[in-house]
């Protein structure tokens, strides 16, 4: 490993300089930085912020002439905080603040940039890395973006990522910065997984945003890898068709928050039991309005229908999370009135 690392580092003098400065005492590093051109200082600070963890053996292989100056640690770690300390000690306050704002801004834009890419491209990037790195990245993205990415991913990989997100140990910002700076480099966790109590809820939040036909295959893949935890996720899954399983009181609470226009869209092409269950939960005036619209049999775009149904399902989940209603998995099934 040391030989490979030395070859990479020999091609990048700025990163070698950053590693050397981080290995020195703060006072020594400050004196050196003060002798450099401000632009060179900025390049070194950027490299220091993105350095990540380096085995000391690799550091010695690169700059063994300064061996006596290294700290006796198993690893040398370069973080945003280290770069900030060097910047504050060696630059005027305004210039140090400017450099750090730029560094932090670049770091924070990584997930945003990924979300803006085509889903197939994001899948390619994540699949090129260790599954734990992919899970680490997906866990920090917005559920809507994750759902779109999962649809574009092969079913086995989809289940693998979800399973790892379920069991993921919370990742520290410094560790995640390594993944970001290296464009999603492999991140393996050798420690035993720590169960996250919010894991099933987080995964259900993602799966609930998938297209209806994608939900069962995704749950099946997850069950093949994490059977018990997959059941906890399944208990939090709610699809539009599950409205018939809600109690009459729960349906009334849900549709008290849904506009008549959205109900009309959601019921377009729906089966009669679902229509009956929804209509029975509406007030008389709203019911007459919805029935009149449905009787016109005006076609509705499939995308609009899907979005309306998803919106209603999300309302159900929010109310369940707030304790206002119970999901079907929490109660005996009740036939629609």
Report DSSP letters for 276-289, one per residue.
HHHHTTS-HHHHHH
Integer CA distances (angstroms), 97 to 53, 80, 83, 84, 280, in order: 24, 13, 11, 9, 61
Question: Which has more confidence, 329 or 279?
Answer: 279
* Each residue's pLDDT tens digit, 172-199: 766 666 666 554 343 233 233 434 456 7
Q: Please name the residues in contact with 175: beta carbons below 8 A apart, sequence gap of 6 or more.
A: 187
Q: Find the range with the poorest average confidence among 46-60, 238-252, 262-276, 285-299.
A: 46-60
- For helices 212-225 and 199-207, the axis angle rounded to 10 degrees is 150
Q: Are strands 52-55 and 75-78 parallel, antiparallel or unpaired?
A: antiparallel
Question: Is the pLDDT confidence value at 218 over 70?
Answer: yes
Question: Is the pLDDT confidence value at 63 over 70?
Answer: no
Fold classified for 241-330? Annexin V; domain 1 (1.10.220)
Give the C-alpha separation, 31 to 274, whole Å.
74
Tell me, rounded to whole angstroms, the distance of Cα 194 from its chain centroid: 18
- Tell me what the mean pLDDT of segment 41-63 comes to: 71
Task: Write down the pTM of the prediction.
Answer: 0.44
* pLDDT range class, residue 36, cuts 50, 70, 90: confident
Compute φ and ψ for 78, nearest 5 degrees: -105, 125
Tell me which residue has tokens 């790195």. 133
Residue 300 is classified by DSSP as: -
- Tell me what the mean pLDDT of segment 70-84 comes to: 56
- Tell me what the mean pLDDT of segment 217-224 comes to: 88
Fold classified for 117-234? Annexin V; domain 1 (1.10.220)
Residues in a beta bridge with 77: 53
* Each residue's pLDDT tens digit, 259-272: 999 999 999 989 99
- At 178 the pLDDT is 63
- Tell me what the mean pLDDT of segment 146-150 comes to: 90
**How many residues in total does the chain contain?**
337
Domains of the chain: which residue ranges?
A: 2-108, 117-234, 241-330
Counting Cβ atoms within 10 Å, is residue 287 exposed (0-12), middle (13-18) or buried (19+)? Answer: middle
- Do 117-234 and 241-330 come out as alike in CATH topology? yes
């Amino acid at each position: 490993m040391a030989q490979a690392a030395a070859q990479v580092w020999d091609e990048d003098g700025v990163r070698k300089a950053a590693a050397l400065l981080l290995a020195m005492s703060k006072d020594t590093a400050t004196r050196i930085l003060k002798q450099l051109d401000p632009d060179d200082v900025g390049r070194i600070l950027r490299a220091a912020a993105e350095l990540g963890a380096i085995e000391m053996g690799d550091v010695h292989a690169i700059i063994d002439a300064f061996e006596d100056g290294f700290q006796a640690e198993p690893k040398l770690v370069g973080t945003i905080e280290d770069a900030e300390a060097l910047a504050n000690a060696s630059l005027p306050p305004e210039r140090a603040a400017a450099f750090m704002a730029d560094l932090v801004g670049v770091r924070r834009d990584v997930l945003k940039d990924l979300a803006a890419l085509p889903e197939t491209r994001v899948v390619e990037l994540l699949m090129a890395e260790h599954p734990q790195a992919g899970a680490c990245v997906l866990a920090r993205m917005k559920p809507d973006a994750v759902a779109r990415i999962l649809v574009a991913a092969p079913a086995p990989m989809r289940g693998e990522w979800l399973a790892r997100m379920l069991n993921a140990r919370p990742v520290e910002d410094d560790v995640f910065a390594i993944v970001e700076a290296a464009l999603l480099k492999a991140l393996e966790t050798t420690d035993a997984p720590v169960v996250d109590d919010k894991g099933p809820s987080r995964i259900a939040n993602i799966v609930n945003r998938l297209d209806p036909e994608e939900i069962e295959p995704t749950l099946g893949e997850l069950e093949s890898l994490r059977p018990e935890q997959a059941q906890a996720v399944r208990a939090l899954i709610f699809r539009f068709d599950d409205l018939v399983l809600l109690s009459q009181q729960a349906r009334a609470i849900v549709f008290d928050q849904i506009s008549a226009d959205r109900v009309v869209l959601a019921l377009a092409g729906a089966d009669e039991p679902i229509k009956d269950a929804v209509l029975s939960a509406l007030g008389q005036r709203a019911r007459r309005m919805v029935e009149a619209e449905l009787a016109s049999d005006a076609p509705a775009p499939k995308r609009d229908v899907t979005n309306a149904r998803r919106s209603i399902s999300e309302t159900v989940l929010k109310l369940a999370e707030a304790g206002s209603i119970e999901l079907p998995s929490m109660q005996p099934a009740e036939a629609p009135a």
